[in-house]
């Protein structure tokens, strides 16, 4: 919850965010929400390529955190819950941020975001005005919703974290599955926060998608430390396995005054973004806070002992991960822009081109190649402009391989395969193409 401001990125220039914003909009990754009505602060829509990227991130996460494990099950809980959930969880009383208001123009910012306050004061200074701020007031982040058609409507909240859906289902999951402590419950889903200052593209939004694991253990500090360290490493390794640059990642332990109300101990994974080191996943020792507050206990079937399990949580965000994967992959080389996304994350794995769009023989074979690759991969088709332009267009959206069907293909049943990163080209027989790409994309 409490994000700490970090120092400024030294490698990426300040322009990187502008370039990413322009590229992601022009190529259909991310659009401002409600764009034709001037947008709505903190809300974003994902276009065709952004949706593929997000789906790939979620698929990788689910595969690693649920399908590949015997000790984790997944759920998909409702976004809107009984308001009693939020009272019990402590969010109604404690899910707050401090807010200050500029006495000159009434702009509101988070009291603890020194950088934003400084930048705002500078703007006034330019107009020879001296900004001053009100005393900090606490501000609840939960978004209220009202249900029913007749007054009084029932007031509840959009979920501020997806997590509570796991705790309220704990008993149902224990009784309906074969899980035994220690075990985990994973979930991916939308969360909503009334952020005071949304910004930096999707980084701080009011609607975002979390991917979380709640791992339940017997109440024991030694076990908690071991489990915490285990998940910390697992999560960092996951980002590295998908190609994130190690030097742009670090852990940061939360100070006492920044921990969320439910956390005994918390450590973030941070990314060195163009706007400073920023949190994009938290690992939290929640102890028995949640199950205790919801008055839920667990009976060990082997020992007959009843206890309130403790929870170690990993809480990431699909949107922040997508943004940081994009920033990390963005590179400029001589005359081209390349998104060096990991092949498993790239929206398209392969693009197929007929050398010339007005040569029916070539187009026919290219279509056949395209259609057969579609059985195994997400494939793009492009027959506009010249080959060089098509390569650069695919580089810009991160497509790892381009396949060109040319005049020679009609003679030798082979195509030219061009590698995004090395720009090297190889001639591959059509009948070996699928196997070749499967190996390269693994």
Interface residue with ligand GAP among 56, 140, 163, 394 (CB under 6 A) is: 163
Question: Does the protein bind ligand GAP through residue 395 (CB under 6 A)?
Answer: no
Q: Shortest approach of ligand GAP to residue 409 CB, angstroms? A: 47
CA–CA separation, 58 and 322 (whole Å): 10
User: Is the Cβ of residue 234 or residue 408 nearer to ligand GAP in the bound state?
Assistant: 234
Question: Does the protein bind ligand GAP through residue 280 (CB under 6 A)?
Answer: yes
Phi, psi of 87 (to 5 degrees): -70, -50
Question: Does the protein bind ligand GAP through residue 161 (CB under 6 A)?
Answer: yes
User: Is the Cβ of residue 319 or residue 328 nearer to ligand GAP in the bound state?
Assistant: 319
Q: What single string gives the DSSP state of each residue in 167-202?
A: HHTHHHHHHHS---SSEEEEEEEEEE---SS-BTTT
CA–CA separation, 210 and 57 (whole Å): 11
Question: Does the protein bind ligand GAP through residue 312 (CB under 6 A)?
Answer: no
Q: Are 428 and 419 in contact (CB under 8 A)?
A: no
Question: Does the protein bind ligand GAP through residue 316 (CB under 6 A)?
Answer: yes
Tell how strand 276-287 and strand 310-317 pair up.
Answer: antiparallel
User: Is the Cβ of residue 283 or residue 365 nearer to ligand GAP in the bound state?
Assistant: 283
Binding to ligand GAP, residues 198-227 (CB under 6 A): 204-205, 208, 210, 212
User: Is the Cβ of residue 317 or residue 414 nearer to ligand GAP in the bound state?
Assistant: 317
Stretch near ligand GAP under the rule CB under 6 A, chosen from 52-60, 232-240, 277-285, 299-307: 277-285
Stretch near ligand GAP under the rule CB under 6 A, chosen from 47-55, 232-240, 274-282, 354-362: 274-282
Question: Does the protein bind ligand GAP through residue 279 (CB under 6 A)?
Answer: yes
Tell how strand 96-101 and strand 137-140 pair up.
Answer: antiparallel
Q: Is 130 left (phi over 0), alpha (psi -120 to 50) or beta?
A: beta
Question: Does the protein bind ligand GAP through residue 267 (CB under 6 A)?
Answer: no
Question: Does the protein bind ligand GAP through residue 86 (CB under 6 A)?
Answer: no
Among all residues, whose Cβ is closest to ligand GAP? 317
Question: Does the protein bind ligand GAP through residue 52 (CB under 6 A)?
Answer: no
Q: Which of 320, 313, 206 is nearest to 262 (CA)?
A: 313
Question: Does the protein bind ligand GAP through residue 272 (CB under 6 A)?
Answer: no
Q: Shortest approach of ligand GAP to residue 1 CB, angstroms? A: 4
Q: Which of 1, 235, 29, 262 is nearest to 140 (CA)?
A: 1
CA–CA separation, 404 and 389 (whole Å): 13
Give the tokens for residue 149. 């058609």
Question: Does the protein bind ligand GAP through residue 97 (CB under 6 A)?
Answer: no
SS3 of residue 437 by DSSP: helix
Question: Does the protein bind ligand GAP through residue 319 (CB under 6 A)?
Answer: yes
Please report, for residues 57, 210, 258, 415, the alpha-carbon distance to residue 40 in angstroms, rounded to integers and kept in the order given: 25, 20, 29, 47
Phi, psi of 325 (to 5 degrees): -65, -40
Binding to ligand GAP, residues 406-435 (CB under 6 A): none
CA–CA separation, 30 and 270 (whole Å): 22
Interface residue with ligand GAP among 56, 315, 394, 399 (CB under 6 A) is: 315
Binding to ligand GAP, residues 245-264 (CB under 6 A): 260
The residues of the shown chain that bind ligand GAP, judged by CB under 6 A, are 1, 161, 163, 193, 195, 204-205, 208, 210, 212, 260, 279-282, 313, 315-317, 319-320
């Amino acid at each position: 919850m409490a994000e700490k401001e970090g120092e400024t990125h030294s490698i990426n220039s300040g322009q990187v965010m502008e370039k990413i914003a322009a590229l992601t909009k022009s190529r259909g990754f991310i659009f401002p929400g409600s764009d034709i009505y001037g947008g709505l602060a903190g809300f974003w829509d994902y276009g065709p390529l952004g949706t593929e990227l997000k789906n790939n991130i979620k698929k990788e996460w689910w595969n690693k955190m649920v399908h590949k494990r015997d000790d984790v099950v997944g759920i998909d809980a409702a976004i809107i819950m009984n308001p009693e959930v939020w009272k019990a969880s402590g969010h109604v009383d404690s899910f707050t941020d401090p807010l200050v208001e500029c006495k000159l123009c009434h702009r509101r910012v988070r009291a603890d975001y020194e950088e934003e306050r400084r930048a705002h004061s500078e703007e006034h200074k330019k107009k020879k005005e001296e900004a001053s701020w009100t005393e900090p007031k606490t501000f609840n982040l939960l978004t209220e919703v009202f249900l029913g058609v007749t007054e009084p409507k029932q007031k509840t909240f959009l979920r501020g974290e997806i997590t509570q859906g796991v705790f309220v289902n704990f008993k149902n999951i224990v009784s309906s599955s074969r899980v035994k402590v220690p075990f985990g419950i994973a979930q991916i889903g939308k969360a909503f926060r009334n952020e005071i200052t949304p910004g930096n593209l999707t980084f701080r939004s009011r609607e975002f998608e979390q991917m979380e694991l709640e791992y339940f253990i017997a109440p024991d500090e030694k076990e908690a430390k071991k489990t915490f360290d285990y998940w910390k490493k697992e999560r960092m390794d996951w980002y590295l396995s998908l190609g994130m640059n190690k030097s742009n990642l670090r852990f940061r332990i939360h100070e006492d005054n920044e921990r969320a109300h439910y956390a005994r101990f918390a450590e973030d994974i941070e990314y060195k973004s163009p706007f400073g080191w920023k949190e994009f996943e938290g690992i939290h020792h929640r102890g028995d806070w949640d199950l205790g507050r919801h008055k839920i206990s667990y009976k060990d079937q082997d020992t007959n002992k009843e206890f309130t399990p403790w929870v170690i949580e990993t809480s990431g965000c699909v949107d922040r991960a997508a943004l940081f994967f994009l920033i990390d992959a963005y590179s400029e080389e001589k005359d081209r822009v390349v998104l060096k996304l990991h092949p498993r994350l790239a929206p398209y794995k392969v693009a197929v081109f007929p050398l010339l769009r007005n040569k029916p023989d070539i187009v026919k074979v290219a279509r056949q190649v395209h259609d057969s690759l579609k059985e195994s991969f997400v494939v793009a088709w492009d027959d506009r402009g010249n080959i060089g332009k098509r390569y650069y267009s695919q580089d810009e959206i991160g497509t790892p391989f381009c396949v060109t069907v040319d005049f020679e293909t009609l003679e030798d049943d082979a195509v030219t395969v061009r590698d995004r990163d090395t720009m090297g080209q190889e001639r591959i027989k059509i009948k070996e193409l699928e196997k070749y790409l499967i190996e390269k994309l693994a």
